[in-house]
Amino acid sequence: MQGIVVIKCGGSTMDQLPDSFFQAIAKLQQEGKQIVIVHGGGPAINSMLDRVQITPQFVDGLRVTCEDTLRVVEMILCGSINKLLVRRLTQAGAKAWGVSGIDGQTLVAQKTSKPLGWVGEITKADTAIPAAILEKGYVPVIAPLSVSDNGVDTYNVNADVAAGAIAAALSAEKLIMVTDVPGIMRPQADGTKEIVAQTSTEEIQAMIEAQIITGGMIPKVQAALDALGQGVNQVVICRGTAEDLLGVCTGETVGTTVRMNVNHAN
Ligand SMILES: Nc1ncnc2c1ncn2[C@@H]1O[C@H](COP(=O)(O)OP(=O)(O)OP(=O)(O)O)[C@@H](O)[C@H]1O
Ligand SMILES: [Mg+2]
């Protein structure tokens, strides 16, 4: 399928997304762009974990997921956040259809060997359901839960990793990672932070080692590089504003563009 734009909506910025952001998605859809949304839900998950007295734990930006945490993750992502996004898109005039990676085995995973509990490593992203939803003229809104090959187990997957896998499977032309920062930020000598307009594999590695890139930005840049390696044309990390979203789609310099290496043609 051609002209697919995957938008990863960070849970970090969910509360701040203005109506105009969703209206921009509706506009792109009406212009014939095939939009797919994959969403996170970090803060909403943390707030529900707090209510049930579980302390959130992260290792390199990935959530440690015990059985009780998994139930909360599933409830918040497949329930509240997924339906909130469908409602907001509907209000903005877009047609939206919410599913999770479990539905139709869109995201098949196996349990990670890392000590993270019920976290999955994606082994297969199946495009049948998102493609069918696009075909019907709706925006698929995908919650990043995954399922084992035999359908028995549910796994939590970082939303950036899920978005990267779905963008790659759909051969998306763009993966836009919408988050609560304008892009990758780098501290300057004068103590201020500046946005990195373009970055590449080597520089990203150096920024992780120097602890300039930390926390949730680590899986984000890794998922960005993986998606580029699997044929996605362009990956941009930016804010959730209509200006940024439409700017990326019209080829303006917005946020941080991730490239595989400095000489790469992307
Ligand atoms: N160099 C950096 N530049 C910008 N942000 C950074 C950097 N290093 C770490 N971060 C952190 O990464 C965060 C974004 O990742 P985070 O996982 O928190 O949000 P998200 O992926 O948008 O939401 P969710 O995980 O809920 O889907 C930023 O809010 C910031 O705190
Ligand atoms: Mg994140």
Q: Is the pLDDT of residue 1 over 90?
A: no
Q: Is the pLDDT of residue 265 over 80?
A: no
Q: HEC profile for 160-189?
A: HHHHHHHHHHCCCCEEEEEECCCCCEEECC
Q: Which pLDDT score is estimated for 266?
A: 47
**Average pLDDT of the residues in 105-113:** 97
| Rounded Cα–Cα distance for residues 198 and 189 (Å) | 19
**Average pLDDT of the residues in 101-121:** 97
pLDDT in tens, 119-130: 999 999 999 999
| Rounded Cα–Cα distance for residues 194 and 214 (Å) | 16
Residue to probe by mutation, ligand 1, list 180, 194, 205, 218, most atoms within 8 Å of CB: 180
Q: Both tokens of residue 115?
A: 């000590």
**Average pLDDT of the residues in 229-241:** 96
Q: Could you tell me how far CA 99 lies from the centroid of its own chain? A: 15
**Average pLDDT of the residues in 238-261:** 95
Collapsing DSSP to helix, strand or coil, 97 comes out as strand
Domains and CATH numbers, the chain: 4-258 (3.40.1160.10)
Q: Which atom of ligand 1 is nearest to the CA of 61?
A: 17
Q: Which atom of ligand 1 is nearest to the CA of 183?
A: 4
Q: At what angle do helices 201-209 and 217-229 cross, to 10 degrees?
A: 160
Q: Which pLDDT score is estimated for 261?
A: 76
Mean pLDDT of the chain: 95
Q: Is the pLDDT of residue 2 over 60?
A: no
| Rounded Cα–Cα distance for residues 184 and 177 (Å) | 11
Band of residue 218 on the pLDDT scale cut at 50, 70, 90: very high
Collapsing DSSP to helix, strand or coil, 194 comes out as strand
Band of residue 208 on the pLDDT scale cut at 50, 70, 90: very high
Q: Could you tell me how far CA 112 lies from the centroid of its own chain? A: 19
pLDDT in tens, 72-93: 999 999 999 999 999 999 999 9
Burial of 192 (0-12, 13-18, 19+ CB in 10 A): exposed
Distance between Cα 3 and ligand 2 center (Å): 25
- Contact, 186 vs 196, CB < 8 A? yes
What is the residue whose two structure tokens read 């051609």? 2
Band of residue 211 on the pLDDT scale cut at 50, 70, 90: very high
Integer Rg of the chain from CA: 17
Band of residue 260 on the pLDDT scale cut at 50, 70, 90: confident
pLDDT in tens, 136-192: 999 999 999 999 999 999 999 999 999 999 999 999 999 999 999 999 999 999 999
Instruction: Report residues near ion ligand 2: CB below 5 Å.
Output: 216
| Rounded Cα–Cα distance for residues 228 and 208 (Å) | 19
Distance between Cα 115 and ligand 2 center (Å): 19
| Rounded Cα–Cα distance for residues 111 and 157 (Å) | 10
pLDDT in tens, 57-69: 999 889 999 999 9
Q: Which pLDDT score is estimated for 262?
A: 52
Q: Is the pLDDT of residue 263 over 70?
A: no
Q: Could you tell me how far CA 133 lies from the centroid of its own chain? A: 19
Percent of the chain with pLDDT over 90: 95
